[in-house]
Structure 1
Amino acid sequence: MRKGLNHRIIASGAALALALMWSEAALAQAGAPQATTPPTPAADEQAEEDRPAVATPVVNPQDTADGGGADIIVTGSAIRGVAPIGSNLVSVGLETIEKTAPVNASQLVNTVPAISTAGSVSQGENGFSYYAPQIHSLAGSSSNTTLVIVDGLRLPGGGTQFSQTDPNIIPISAIQRVEVLADGASSVYGSDAVAGVVNFITRRTFDGLEANIQTSFADNYRDFQSNFIWGKTWETGGVYVAGSYSDQSKLLNRDREFASRGDYRAVGGSVNQSFQCSPATIIVPGVSGVFTSPGATTTVANTPSNAPCNNSIYATLLPAQFRANSFVKVTNDFGDRLTVTATMNYNRQETHAPNGPGGISNATVFGPGSGRGGQINPFFVAPAGAPNATQESVSFLFPTTDGNYGETESQADSIYATAVAGYKLTEDWTITFSDAFGWNRSALNTVNGFCTSCALLALNGTAQLSGSTTATNIAGQNVIALNLPLTTANALDVWNGLGTNRTPDSVIRQLYRANSENTNYNTFNQVKLDLQGSLFDLPGGTVKIAVGGEYYWQEQTQKITGSNNTGPTTTGSNFRVYNYDRDIKSVYAELYIPVISPEMNIPFAHRIDVSISGRYDSYSDVGDTSNPKFAANWEPFEGFKLRGNYSRSFVAPPIGVIGDPTQGYLYASGSVGVNGTQISVPIANYPDVAQIPGVQCGSTTCVIGTSAIQGLRRQLGGGFTNEVPQKGRSWSVGADLSPRFLPGFVAAGTFFHNTFIGGVSSPSPSAIVNSAGLRPLLTICPTTCTADQINSFANIANGASISGAVPPQVYFLIDQSSRNALNLVVEGIDGQFSYRTPATDMGRFTIGSAFTYFTKFKQNFGGGTTFSILNTSGYNTTFPSVQFKNRAQLGWEWSGFSADLFWNHTGGYRNWISTSVAPITVDAVGNPTGGGDKVKNNDIFDIHLQYTFGGENMLRGWQLFVDMQNMFDKDPPFYNGNTNGILGGAWGYNGFVSNPIGRLTTLGLRMKF
């Protein structure tokens, strides 16, 4: 920690000193006499003027000029002024920002079909893959293979698990464009760029004041967003301040029928209901089935289809989200040689989601005649169908009259600063120093949540579901909490609902006083030194080179506080701290070789360019890696280009996922009981599953993880499984077309191939039970697992822990620890075209489209047999593999008015989640081959209407706009399952590729001064 503290002081002090020293001189120059010629729009804004509002290929590097006479910076190349050779670069510019009215950067990027979450909602995520965009669905979560940067420099990590980036810390008003490079790029950028790079490029300068205010509304949902940018330019540079504020309301499950049905059999699904009810449901020893209430005279079978209570109505579909941020950028030229740019960014984000009432499943409770003395609950009620019962297993939900059950909240604070100084050594050679420093605090908290151990203590006098007075409440320690004897003053009544419930107020208040906190602190510093220039001339042009070195350090501290299962968290909490750090030293080089130029007049070889790049990275914790890239462009004639490339890339495992070796490689939950998360287990793969007493089986599968068949889940870090870096191998070929005889038309097509080896993943239960390579990760205990088995499985002896109480009977152990489990082979086609007609008396028309179509999506686990998951979703819980996505635009502009219609299409696919109604078919070794539920294609239409004021009055340049997303208010296609909250998912729709909000109408005003 001492080393990290010194690092932070030195890095932040150096950046601050450089910024202050330089800005003082720059602002002094701002007072100098100005040029007498009227100012003109910045070159970067002119470059965007004719760009359509769909994602379009960048055919010429000049299309992305930064303006102000600076060298052109293009994503994917270390050499300024040179576009990435052999690659397809897609740009989303100012016009798209205006014509999609995005609330944040994630919503803007989701207009690109190559992004895995295109079509989803960007609100409320706080963990897992955070807000980081992901290209071509190439894994996700801790193995995210897409690098997200701003102006070519890295961002601070965030979230409460995997330290991934949130580009939304940058205000929309500061963004000039977003460039998406869907090719391996570790030879230039290092780790994470296996699938490609998403680069958010900010405005270089801005002169004047622009403000945007917009309000949006849908059924039971609203959103307010505002942003501004103010800037001042002078002869040698400029300064601007940008900021944004957004307030998005929560959306509850009960506000959308598709998310709160509970029983989905009418629409071809299953029952997503529970035996947790108010009053309680009851199982009496020796009596088959479940009494659905204390007054029930008969039982029903203990199967999911008979569960009577729909508790999804209490859940939150999207949490309320607040965000405010600011961004300051100053740039100045000092003479003819030195240019310095500095930025400072601050971001604050919060989410709030109300909790529903808490409950417990299968808790043992004792009544008169049981012989349990002080454990006898004074409110005990035997069911009408078993009036002589003296002991029960109850499942219940406990609502209160005030309906206040606490909330789950997240918070994130980010500070981010950069300083870049470029010095011209000669006319051709430049040296550049870059420093990026970032700090992020991300917290996920439960405030006044349901206290499970408190309820158990008031129910049977112990903190154990089984009611054991000798079992420990903290695994590996002899700690026993008791609340004896039970009386009417300290007991819990679960046999009566609201209005007649006899539980004392003091007990009720204690039930909703559980608090937990998961806070992550991430700090990084990236220092780069680049040297680039011209080597020599060839007949085809000048050979250029860029060489450089980089030093990067990162620290992460995770602090977790929660219940220790002995009662209220105010008196019984556990507290853990995990510390991780990493240092990286890198060197890299890129060579640009113009083989043939137009001036050489060679038939069918208008231009040929070649690029060779490579990078060596030395990690303090996972070793060394070298990654080259070879690329070429061939233009047979002007306006038509063929291109191709081959690259090797890598992703270093996130430092937090390695786990803390001093604590049994804990990094998240450790082990936790599985109760209510259904897992359909193939009998052919696990014959012993059919021997579990009371298990419900069909002809091919048995269901475990129910309230009756509980188990234990383990999730430890990659150090426990000896994780190593993840590797990527990729190549692509493509063509760009921009015919000179058809001005305004550009098109590009790319065939891509990606191989991802050893992806870090926590395998899903569905993948484990259906994949031969992962089959050993599930252990079945037909006669229940022993205490020694449980403690060994949870790694208790080495410092790991079990979260919550151990189920009274553990019938299975499932290992979802992070590991190098995933191998992928992905192929497909990216295509884009756009055409903007010349201006006519009827106005100007635009038509365009962009799509991604996968032709292959294969995977295996642990080197097992390869199988296809093409056009499915759910088999992998952190990324989909839906085959086809498309976004098309039809636009018209005339006399200040513009109208744009967008068509967003997601093709139909198969639901391969374990809860699919149609069984997933498997081969002889257990790998999936087909089956699963059909999910319909999704077609959503958006419209944007905008009027720009002209004339010479004060409203010149102002814009009024109306934006309507999902204009026909279409529900998402039905999906029998959920996406575990990763992207705001809930049962009934797929949060990866669908948006639950419905028709969202936005009214906005953009003012320019």
Structure 2
Amino acid sequence: MKKSSSRASHALVVPGCSQSLLCRTTAALALLAQFSSLAMAQDAATPPAEQVDLEEIIVTGTQLRGIAPVGTNVVSMSEQEIIATGAPSANEILTKVPQVSSAFLNTPTTALDAGLALIRPNIRNLGASGTSTTLVIIDGHRVVGAGALQSTPDPDVIPPGVLERIDIVPDGGSSIYGSDAIGGVINYISKRRFDGLEVSGRTGFADDYQPADVNVTAGKDWGSGSGYVSYAWAHNDSILGKDRDYLRQVTPNSGYCGAGTILANGTTYANTGPNTGSLTPGTMTSCDTTDEVSLWPEQTRHNVFGSLNQEITSSVTLDVRGYYARRELTLLPGLDARDLAITAANPFFDPIAGETSQTVRTNFLGAIDQQATNTLTSYGITPTVTVALGENWQLRALANFGRSETEVSSATVNVPVAQTTLNPYDLRSNSEAALAAASLHNLVVGKQRLSNYRAILDGSVFQLPGGNVRLAIGAEYMKENHDSHNGVTAFGAEGTTPTVRLDRDIESVFAEIAVPIVGAGNAISGVHSLTFSASGRYDDYSDVGGTFNPKLGVTYEPLDWIKVRGNWGKSFNAPSLVDKTGVEAGGGIFSFALPYGQTAPWAIAIAGNSGADMEPQTATTWSLGADFQPPVVPGLTLSATYYNIDLEKVIGLLAGQPYSPELEPFFRDNVPCAQATAELGSVAPFPPLVPVSLTCLFSPTTAIFDYRVQNLGEIKTDGIDFNVSYDRSVGFGLIYAGLGGTYTLNRDRALVPGASFVEYLDNPGTSRLSLILTAGAQVGNLNASASLNHRGGYDIDPVVAADPNNPFPEEQNHVDSFTTVDLFFNYKLPEAWVHQDLNLSLNVTNLFNEDPPFYSGGCFSPASCGFTNGSTLGRLIQLGLRIKL
């Protein structure tokens, strides 16, 4: 074919296009698409020596079709493996992936803070406050965030019944996907086509617990396209602390239980109701304060997921996928412990020994309904147009829109009203009207919106002896909005707290190339194949500026059964919009409440976020691994990967950290009050603390503790992922086994810039070893398997000191390992019996009803007291049925 003489004169004019980075890149992308068509038309006359059949499915970890990501390890779960987990939600499926540390051997506990209705999957345990270092995507694209005080995508918007597979890439991925992919990427991939009707359901039981779920999928495949709709419903009741022995109080009793404790003239009296003169001095009420805490909340979830794909012409395909999800949770936060200052202003005041005031330590359990409700509604739609431009070239254009709303409602106590109007000695005796007047309504609302547009052009640019050189280039635009309202009002009153509105724009360009230096056409002894890849992405944020993140990868096969792979790259995690809200609150507290060694008798705490000053956290990541499939043992695969992550400018907060000089200027001592007032006097106090301006009434100096979410220090971690799998056909069917896990070699952290690094593997909850061992067999229509889930024990440094005031007073210097066993059985009834595809299943989780290891060193939250290194619902038995018509 004759070359076109007009190629050099081609120009593209886009009406209304500005000179922004994204607009210029999109124009260039369209122009390159024209050039690609011309080039492919020319090449069609002389076909290359090696034709490549490119798959339509984009593999996770790359924008190139038809090839696996170069130099990268991908952990995948197939549809059958997903079914075998027995998980009713997309999030809980990840309990079978050791690298996903927040879910492995751990009940995916819904966060009990007011603004978040879900957990966030977390590869490598690199989570940060308010944001995430793990990118969660569905079908290769982002999902709108959820939450009011935090923001994270919700994997549970997709029903498990429509999942074709899940890909986990435990490597940095910002060169491909942009922000968040520091620890890695989790890609939930839905079925592209479906024909028929499938109904599945499960019901189960554990001690004081019953879950149930149903999934119905109906669709039609008409050859040139397919469409389906799937609906899922799931419900479970709650598990309270009193339902599980391992959740228990490990802190000293303070007398807030039952009817409470009275402090009069420096003496405590266990309250037995209205004072009768018979109260015993030196006594306190006692109980286990975790009994009324929701370990696992009551939950109802509805999901709808739809898919439509259609070939418009021989070269144009339209794909539309959308979802709607609603989740309702109900939970108890535990005892609302209160100190009520009672004087003669209270008509029920009853002196014990002539005192003029008392402090009544009490709680409002049973008097004020403190049950919290958390409702999350989310929906999104993603249309994609795919255009075949010529031999091996394709243009994909995507639009992605998502909306979510989180609403949290709960009640709390209006302490000033309660102190002067209620009978503090017998709270349940007060009238409903009096209790209502002493109640406050907490309402937290968060609304988030995502608009996302992306175009990718990829194909083969030319051929080398080793194969086709593949190139992908693209541009992307994204807009995020987050509105939040957090107010406390009297019941029935309108809130006066203003809504905080935040938004940002992100413009991105990216490119990726894969170069097969050695392939089937030029392989030599010792070099069966050698492929190199390079990718890079530039993201320009309207609020935090621009960042460029490259990645290099190489895959080398000395023999056809040995693969060596490695990669190096930069990744980043932009602050969430919530992190950018700025300082929200501050106030003064007595120094004994925060024993950091300061000499000033008062301390001021600054809370909230550092706002406009916050920068992205950045990481350098690299890994080196190998895969072996020895021909002498057919069916055996051995894999190992060393990973290394250096995370800087960590987004977090310093609350709970012991004082040390290197934490300056985050912790400042002996600040003159006049200086503190000038710096912070305009910051609103947070109850029950006093305004900053009042601190000078108590002391001429103060200490200032900066507890804002902000950029802090550095985390360095490395470790080894390993996997062994084996499957073999035998006379009676198939046997299979697998061992997968991760071992952390080091995890060092410098809390703030310039601070010394401290080993973090001795802290509770940071086990070095996590693994899962599975063995099973397919015998005719029966598939049966057993899984052993293990998390290693570890020493505690520093040890938990002995304390005779604690319920468990002994010293503790070690946390035990945690091992559970799960069973799965699936029997497909012979079609001669039922004339349908009918499967019966049985899942047994935690067969031996093992409790997680004991830990006496305090609680991160009321629902985490007394244990660490994993959690569990107990022995859970589920019966299931799945039928395909």
TM range (shorter): 0.7 to 0.9
Q: Retained in 2: the 8 A contact 1:918–1:933?
A: no
The residue correspondences of 1:682-831 to structure 2 (distance < 5 A) are 686=597, 688=599, 713-719=605-611, 722-765=613-656, 767=657, 769-770=658-659, 772-774=661-663, 776-778=665-667, 795=680, 797=682, 800-804=684-688, 806=690, 814-831=705-722
Give the aligned CA root-mean-square deviation in angstroms.
2.9
Q: Retained in 1: the 8 A contact 2:131–2:150?
A: no
Q: Retained in 2: the 8 A contact 1:381–1:495?
A: no
Tell me the equivalent position of 2:880: 1004
Q: In the alignment, does 2:541 pair up with 1:619?
A: yes
**Aligned partner letter, 1:960:** L
Tell me the equivalent position of 2:774: 889
Q: Can you list the C-alpha shifts for 1:539-577, whole angstroms capped at 9, x where unaligned?
A: 1111110001111111111112214xxxx3445854121
Tell me the equivalent position of 1:436: 400
The alpha-carbon distance between structure 1 residues 788 and 255, as it changes in their structure 2 partners (threshold 3 A), is: farther
Q: Can you list the C-alpha shifts for 1:768-801, whole angstroms capped at 9, x where unaligned?
A: x1555435544678xxx999788667x4515x44
TM-score (normalised: structure 2): 0.86
C-alpha distance in 2 between matches for 1:756 and 1:128 = 25
Q: Report the Cα offset of residue 216 of structure 1.
A: 1.3
Q: Retained in 2: the 8 A contact 1:278–1:398?
A: no
Task: Determine which of 195, 209, 218 is the counterpart of 2:197.
Answer: 209
Q: Report the Cα offset of residue 299 of structure 1.
A: 3.0
**Aligned partner letter, 1:395:** R
Partner-residue secondary structure (3-state), 1:1002? strand
Q: In the alignment, does 2:408 pair up with 1:450?
A: no
Partner-residue secondary structure (3-state), 2:663? helix
Q: Retained in 2: the 8 A contact 1:148–1:199?
A: yes
The alpha-carbon distance between structure 1 residues 297 and 347, as it changes in their structure 2 partners (threshold 3 A), is: closer
Q: Report the Cα offset of residue 174 of structure 1.
A: 1.1
Partner-residue secondary structure (3-state), 1:598? coil
Tell me the equivalent position of 1:96: 81
C-alpha distance in 1 between matches for 2:589 and 2:164 = 48
C-alpha distance in 2 between matches for 1:910 and 1:680 = 27
C-alpha distance in 2 between matches for 1:224 and 1:404 = 31
Task: Determine which of 493, 505, 512 is the counterpart of 1:590.
Answer: 512
C-alpha distance in 1 between matches for 2:101 and 2:639 = 20
State the percentage of identical aligned residues: 27
Partner-residue secondary structure (3-state), 2:878? strand
The residue correspondences of 1:386-535 to structure 2 (distance < 5 A) are 387-400=353-366, 405-446=369-410, 449-453=411-415, 456-459=416-419, 461=420, 491-496=421-426, 503-504=430-431, 506-511=433-438, 513-535=439-461
Q: Report the Cα offset of residue 910 of structure 1.
A: 4.5
**Aligned partner letter, 2:355:** A
Q: Retained in 2: the 8 A contact 1:659–1:719?
A: yes
Q: Report the Cα offset of residue 228 of structure 1.
A: 2.1
C-alpha distance in 1 between matches for 2:227 and 2:86 = 25
The alpha-carbon distance between structure 1 residues 560 and 450, as it changes in their structure 2 partners (threshold 3 A), is: closer
C-alpha distance in 2 between matches for 1:282 and 1:601 = 85
Tell me the equivalent position of 2:106: 120
The alpha-carbon distance between structure 1 residues 797 and 391, as it changes in their structure 2 partners (threshold 3 A), is: same
The alpha-carbon distance between structure 1 residues 957 and 272, as it changes in their structure 2 partners (threshold 3 A), is: farther
Task: Determine which of 274, 278, 281 is the counterpart of 2:261.
Answer: 281
**Aligned partner letter, 1:315:** V
Tell me the equivalent position of 2:18: none
Tell me the equivalent position of 2:863: 985
The alpha-carbon distance between structure 1 residues 868 and 128, as it changes in their structure 2 partners (threshold 3 A), is: farther
Tell me the equivalent position of 2:498: 576
- The list of structure 1 runs, each at least 4 consecutive aligned residues, that deviate by more than 6 angstroms after superposition, is 672-675, 677-680, 785-793, 807-812
C-alpha distance in 1 between matches for 2:129 and 2:828 = 42
C-alpha distance in 2 between matches for 1:628 and 1:904 = 36
Tell me the equivalent position of 2:120: 132
Q: Report the Cα offset of residue 584 of structure 1.
A: 0.7
Q: Which runs of 5+ in 2 are unaligned?
A: 1-51, 804-810
Tell me the equivalent position of 2:871: 995
Aligned pairs, how many? 812
C-alpha distance in 1 between matches for 2:858 and 2:560 = 50
Q: Report the Cα offset of residue 420 of structure 1.
A: 1.0
Tell me the equivalent position of 1:181: 169
Q: In the alignment, does 2:353 pair up with 1:365?
A: no
**Aligned partner letter, 1:551:** Y
Q: Retained in 2: the 8 A contact 1:129–1:144?
A: no
Q: Can you list the C-alpha shifts for 1:42-69, whole angstroms capped at 9, x where unaligned?
A: xxxxxxxxxxxxxxxxxxxx9xx9xxx8
Q: Retained in 2: the 8 A contact 1:659–1:717?
A: yes
Partner-residue secondary structure (3-state), 1:601? coil
Q: Can you list the C-alpha shifts for 1:356-407, whole angstroms capped at 9, x where unaligned?
A: 564422x43224xxxxxxx2x3322333xxx12222233222454xx66242
C-alpha distance in 1 between matches for 2:603 and 2:710 = 21
The residue correspondences of 1:861-872 to structure 2 (distance < 5 A) are 861-872=751-762
Q: Retained in 2: the 8 A contact 1:134–1:140?
A: no
Q: Which runs of 5+ in 1 are unaligned?
A: 1-61, 263-269, 301-305, 368-374, 462-490, 693-709, 875-879, 920-930
C-alpha distance in 2 between matches for 1:209 and 1:672 = 60
Tell me the equivalent position of 2:132: 144
Q: Can you list the C-alpha shifts for 1:486-535, whole angstroms capped at 9, x where unaligned?
A: xxxxx32223476xx5x455323433x42111111110111111111111
C-alpha distance in 2 between matches for 1:228 and 1:911 = 48
Partner-residue secondary structure (3-state), 2:638? strand
Q: Can you list the C-alpha shifts for 1:685-711, whole angstroms capped at 9, x where unaligned?
A: x1638xx6xxxxxxxxxxxxxxxxx97
Q: Report the Cα offset of residue 350 of structure 1.
A: 0.8
Tell me the equivalent position of 1:110: 95
Q: Retained in 1: the 8 A contact 2:406–2:446?
A: yes
Q: In the alignment, does 2:62 pair up with 1:77?
A: yes
Partner-residue secondary structure (3-state), 2:599? helix
**Aligned partner letter, 1:967:** L
Q: Retained in 2: the 8 A contact 1:831–1:851?
A: yes
Q: Retained in 1: the 8 A contact 2:824–2:841?
A: yes
**Aligned partner letter, 1:122:** P
The alpha-carbon distance between structure 1 residues 1002 and 561, as it changes in their structure 2 partners (threshold 3 A), is: same
The residue correspondences of 1:31-110 to structure 2 (distance < 5 A) are 70-110=55-95
The alpha-carbon distance between structure 1 residues 359 and 939, as it changes in their structure 2 partners (threshold 3 A), is: closer
**Aligned partner letter, 1:894:** V
Q: Can you list the C-alpha shifts for 1:185-210, whole angstroms capped at 9, x where unaligned?
A: 11111111111111111111011111
Partner-residue secondary structure (3-state), 1:183? coil
Q: 95-104 vs 858-867, which deviates more?
A: 858-867
The residue correspondences of 1:590-669 to structure 2 (distance < 5 A) are 590-660=512-582, 665-666=583-584
The alpha-carbon distance between structure 1 residues 340 and 119, as it changes in their structure 2 partners (threshold 3 A), is: same
Partner-residue secondary structure (3-state), 1:797? coil
Q: Retained in 1: the 8 A contact 2:538–2:547?
A: yes
C-alpha distance in 2 between matches for 1:853 and 1:337 = 48
Tell me the equivalent position of 2:41: none
Q: Report the Cα offset of residue 869 of structure 1.
A: 3.3
C-alpha distance in 1 between matches for 2:211 and 2:255 = 36
Q: Retained in 1: the 8 A contact 2:128–2:650?
A: no
C-alpha distance in 2 between matches for 1:832 and 1:650 = 28
Tell me the equivalent position of 1:860: 750
Q: Retained in 2: the 8 A contact 1:726–1:757?
A: yes
Q: Retained in 1: the 8 A contact 2:55–2:66?
A: no
Q: Retained in 2: the 8 A contact 1:93–1:177?
A: yes
TM-score (normalised: structure 1): 0.76
C-alpha distance in 2 between matches for 1:129 and 1:192 = 20
Tell me the equivalent position of 1:255: 243
Task: Determine which of 441, 446, 462 is the counterpart of 1:536.
Answer: 462
Q: Retained in 2: the 8 A contact 1:538–1:595?
A: yes
Partner-residue secondary structure (3-state), 1:599? coil
Partner-residue secondary structure (3-state), 1:425? strand
C-alpha distance in 2 between matches for 1:181 and 1:641 = 17
Q: Report the Cα offset of residue 353 of structure 1.
A: 1.5
The alpha-carbon distance between structure 1 residues 359 and 787, as it changes in their structure 2 partners (threshold 3 A), is: farther
